[in-house]
Amino acid sequence: MSIIWTLYDISPYIFLQALTKDSLTVSVDAVVYYKVYDPVWAVINVADYDTATRYLAATTLRNALGTRKLTEILGDRPAVSSQVFINMKQMTREWGVKVVRVEIKDICLPLQLQKAMAAEAESSRLANAKIIVAKSEIESTRNLQKATTLLMDNPLCMQLRYLQSLHMISGDKTHTIVFPFSAEMLRKIFK
């Protein structure tokens, strides 16, 4: 009868700071899940398999982060975790340790970088809003030009529009009524 030892360990959080490909510093929290499948190898081949696994995880994670830009790291955490997992899995096999899973828990950015990114996003939103307002102003001006052309071609349309405007004003329960006069009428009145 043979006894097979299987120890499951969870390496504590690995907290490190790394420099990304675009020279930005990020703080990363990660966890490495591993098990010792051969305790004899784990004790003989490495002085302290737990510490060695932690150092290997930190080094591999730092190398993985250094090959990617910040947007890639933030956008695809599982890919970074997978890269670290594959690299660690190959290296720890000869120690008698099997890496089961690597998970990046948190990525923290420096406060100044967070503020700069927020300011950039806000200015981008404001610029887009101004573009939308400008486009709607252009469309509104075009519609007014079309309406003016239609109203100027037929004097009855202009009279109907005038009466419609008076009706809208009188429906507001105000005591003020506005009578628009054309320049020609004003000349006739004041002569």
Asked if residue 178 is part of any domain, the answer here is yes
Per-residue confidence at 174, pLDDT binned at 50, 70, 90? low
pLDDT tens column, 70-107: 888 888 888 988 888 998 888 888 888 888 888 888 88
**Closest listed residue to residue 56, CA positions, set 91, 106, 30:** 91
DSSP 117-169: HHHHHHHHHHHHHHHHHHHHHHHHHHHHHHHHHHHHH-HHHHHHHHHHHHHHH
Asked if residue 106 is part of any domain, the answer here is yes
- The answer to whether residues 98 and 171 belong to one domain is no
Asked if residue 31 is part of any domain, the answer here is yes
Query: What mean pLDDT is reported for the chain?
Result: 80
Contact 4, 98 (CB under 8 A): no
Asked if residue 123 is part of any domain, the answer here is no
Residues linked to residue 28 through DSSP beta bridges, in sequence order: 16, 107
C-alpha atoms less than 13 angstroms from C-alpha of 172 in its C-beta half-sphere: 10
How high is the pLDDT of residue 139? 92
- Which range scores top for mean pLDDT: 100-104, 108-112, 181-185? 100-104
- Give the total number of structural domains in the chain: 2
User: Which residues, other chains included, contact 100 with Cβ-Cβ below 8 Å and sequence gap of 6+?
Assistant: 33, 34, 35
Asked if residue 119 is part of any domain, the answer here is no
Q: Give CA–CA dist 93/95, Å, rounded.
A: 5
Asked if residue 118 is part of any domain, the answer here is no
Per-residue confidence at 7, pLDDT binned at 50, 70, 90? very low
Residues linked to residue 82 through DSSP beta bridges, in sequence order: none
Q: Give CA–CA dist 97/49, Å, rounded.
A: 8
Where in the sequence is the domain holding 181, given as residue range(s)? 136-189
Q: Give CA–CA dist 174/59, Å, rounded.
A: 77
Tell me the whole-structure pTM to 2 decimals. 0.57
Contact 151, 157 (CB under 8 A): yes
- The answer to whether residues 102 and 143 belong to one domain is no
Asked if pLDDT for residue 132 goes beyond 90, the answer is yes
Q: Give CA–CA dist 182/65, Å, rounded.
A: 73
Q: Give CA–CA dist 96/40, Å, rounded.
A: 8
Asked if residue 128 is part of any domain, the answer here is no
The arithmetic mean of pLDDT across residues 98-121, rounded, is 83
pLDDT tens column, 136-167: 999 988 988 888 887 778 777 777 777 787 77
38: left (phi over 0), alpha (psi -120 to 50) or beta: beta
Per-residue confidence at 13, pLDDT binned at 50, 70, 90? low
Compute how many other C-beta atoms are within 10 angstroms of the C-beta atom of residue 40: 10
Asked if residue 124 is part of any domain, the answer here is no
Per-residue confidence at 21, pLDDT binned at 50, 70, 90? confident
